[in-house]
Amino acid sequence: MLFVKEGKALIKTKLNEKEVFYNPRGKFTRSLGVIVVAAEGEVKGRELVVADALAATGIRGIRYFLESGKVKKLFLNDISRTAYYIIQENLKLNKISGESAIVTRLDANSFLSSHFKEKDKFDLVDVDPYGSPAPYIDNSVSAVKEGGILAITATDLAPLCGIYPWPAFRKYWALPLRGEFCHEIAARILINLVVQSCGRKERVPEPILTCRSEHYIRVYVRIKKGKRNFPYEKIGFIYRCEKCLEVYVRSIKEAFMNKCPICGSNLLTSGPLWIGDLHSVSFLDKLNRVKDLVEEDRAKVDKFLFFFKKELKMPPYYYDVSKACGLLKKSMPSIQRIINALISMGFKATRTHFNPVGIKTTAPYKEFLEVIKLSTKA
């Protein structure tokens, strides 16, 4: 692969027979990032200073510049010598001048730490590593301007989803939970890693957008100064009964649970993690107003924005209809039929972007199973 066309950007991926990593499966996250930058420009009422600390080909930042219309200055950094020169070539290809973009060749943490002074900080810091972002979190938080955004990607989903729980604990200081809603657990653990860093630096985090797609989890967190409004009550644990499969959520301020209140069996525990909302309703409204800026993945952007809105004020987990049907040895009914039945019983229920056959609901798991039984009888 030599040239790639993505969105409004045309980039090289190879220089002198040496290739720089380009992931076509990340195209959607870059499209979503474009409208995040555009929406943040609307929030701030001005153009932004944006940094990509692990830029590779520079495709992400270049698309932000070309498509959002809200980037004043772009900083692209990568420690790779080949990437450094390819980024420069790609900026020329896309007619982005040296006055608008600065390219550096530093270790990501060295790059971020060189921007700790208030005048040098960024409106948006983007960190999209191969694997865990844990090594970069502290310096990323410190490089964000007051009220700016930290955008973080995690691709190490095997640990975060509980296949390798102890490596996850080592990197994220939280225990994951393997099972049907493991991807949402992964996102909430990632958010809490940012929350922990903010707490150490007397900063207050607010998740404004969370996305799971393909092989990655992506979170956008607004970072503000302060400590009085630190969200203690939005940090907690999620428990699942090994026997009856009921799910419980408790804030870190509440008593720790050991046994299931319903059947007395042992509980599987995940956390500490973020148990608050994954998105900001006001920021979602801004995203909907600027979504026409991207042509790439437009249908998927629309679908995800719709689901993001539905996920607000819902429990921090979901039930997998396919797994429940397997447990009951029933064929799978219509997802919407189950949702309608749950709502008619007085529960909240909606689909989720985390899983095409997932349902977020306030119904206990026992009631959820009963609804599936009734839905498969007709």
**Burial class of residue 254 (count of CB atoms within 10 Å of its CB; 0-12, 13-18, 19+):** exposed
Of 325, 310, 302, residue with least CA distance to 360: 310
> For domain 3-231+276-310, is the CATH number 3.40.50.300?
no
Of 13, 7, 4, 3, residue with least CA distance to 38: 7
Report pLDDT for 377.
65
Pairing mode of beta strands 71-77, 101-104: parallel
| Dihedral sign computed on CA atoms, order 38, 42, 46, 48 | negative
Report pLDDT for 296.
85
Whether this prediction's pTM lies above 0.95 is answered by yes
Report pLDDT for 2.
78
Report pLDDT for 376.
79
Of 326, 318, 329, residue with least CA distance to 357: 318
Of 212, 203, 216, 219, residue with least CA distance to 151: 219
**Which of helix, strand or coil describes residue 312?**
coil
Q: List the end-to-end C-alpha distance of the chain, in Å, as a whole number.
A: 53
- Domain boundaries defined on the chain: 3-231+276-310, 233-274, 319-377
Q: What are the beta bridge partners of residue 153?
A: 218
Of 48, 235, 62, 233, residue with least CA distance to 147: 48
Written as tens digits, the pLDDT of the chain (378 aa) is: 578 999 999 999 999 889 999 999 999 999 999 999 999 999 999 999 999 999 999 999 999 999 999 999 999 999 999 999 999 999 999 999 999 999 999 999 999 999 999 999 999 999 999 999 999 999 999 999 999 999 999 999 999 999 999 999 999 999 999 999 999 999 999 999 999 999 999 999 999 999 999 899 999 999 999 999 999 999 999 999 999 999 999 999 999 999 999 999 999 999 999 999 999 999 999 999 999 999 889 999 999 999 999 999 999 999 999 999 999 999 999 999 999 999 999 999 999 999 999 999 999 999 999 999 998 765
- 359-365 own/partner pairs: CB under 8 Å, 24+ apart: 359/318, 359/319, 359/321, 359/335, 360/310, 360/311, 360/314, 360/315, 360/317, 360/318, 361/314, 361/315, 361/318, 361/319, 362/314, 362/315, 364/246, 365/244, 365/245, 365/246, 365/247, 365/319
Q: Which residues contact 361 (CB under 8 A, 6 or more apart)?
A: 314, 315, 318, 319, 339, 342, 347, 348, 349, 350, 368
User: Count of CB atoms within 10 A of residue 206's CB?
Assistant: 20
* Encoded tokens for 287: 């995203």
Report pLDDT for 17.
87
Q: What are the beta bridge partners of residue 320?
A: 358
Q: Which CATH number does 319-377 carry?
A: 3.30.56.70
Of 240, 241, 267, 271, residue with least CA distance to 253: 271
CB contact at 8 A, 93 and 11: yes
